[in-house]
Every structure is written in structure tokens, then in C-alpha cells.
């Protein structure tokens, strides 16, 4: 299966399996970092101001749910 970007004349020489693997890993690292940052801000506001920010807690919960759902989906399909 070829990636749609590989059919673009100029980009075709740059898009290969390594590129796609690096993009997948970078997206995963970015997602984990954002979820951890939201959790840290949630904890800071809880400890500093004694206030629960449910929107930040929800970001962390949604991340965990999506990550586990993707894990089980790929595991079942493999």
C-alpha cells in the first residue's frame, strides 16, 4: 500500500516507510506529552488553588481511553 503523498511528483522521493514510521512516532510522543502536560496543570491548580478543573482532567481521561481503544483495535485486527 502506498501513501497518497508518495504519488506527488516532488514529495514522492521523500515519503517512504521510514518517513511514515517517524511521523507516527512523533505524533504519539506529542499526544503523550500534551496529555501529561494537561495532567500536570490539573494537579498544579488542584494543589495551588484547591480547585478542580474538569476540562483538564477530561483531556487526560480522553487520551487514556483513545490510546487503549486504539491498542485493543489494532490488537484485535492483527
Q: How far apart are CA 54 and CA 24, in angstroms?
A: 29
Q: How far apart are CA 41 and CA 22, in angstroms?
A: 28
pLDDT score recorded for residue 12: 59
As for how many domains the chain has, the answer is 1
pTM for the structure as a whole: 0.63
pLDDT score recorded for residue 15: 64
pLDDT score recorded for residue 77: 79
Show the low-confidence residues of the chain (pLDDT under 50).
none
Radius of gyration of the chain (CA): 18
64-76 tens-digit pLDDT:
888 888 888 878 8
Question: Do 3 and 17 form a contact (C-beta atoms < 8 A)?
Answer: no
> In terms of residue numbers, what domain contains 40?
4-77
Amino acid at each position: 500500500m502506498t501513501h497518497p503523498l508518495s504519488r506527488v511528483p516532488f514529495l514522492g522521493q521523500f515519503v517512504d516507510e521510514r518517513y511514515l514510521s517517524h511521523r507516527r512516532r512523533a505524533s504519539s510522543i506529542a499526544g503523550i506529552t500534551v496529555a501529561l502536560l494537561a495532567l500536570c496543570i490539573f494537579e498544579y491548580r488542584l494543589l495551588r488553588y484547591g480547585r478542580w478543573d474538569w476540562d483538564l482532567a477530561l483531556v487526560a481521561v480522553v487520551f487514556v481511553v483513545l490510546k487503549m481503544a486504539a491498542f485493543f483495535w489494532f490488537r484485535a485486527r492483527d
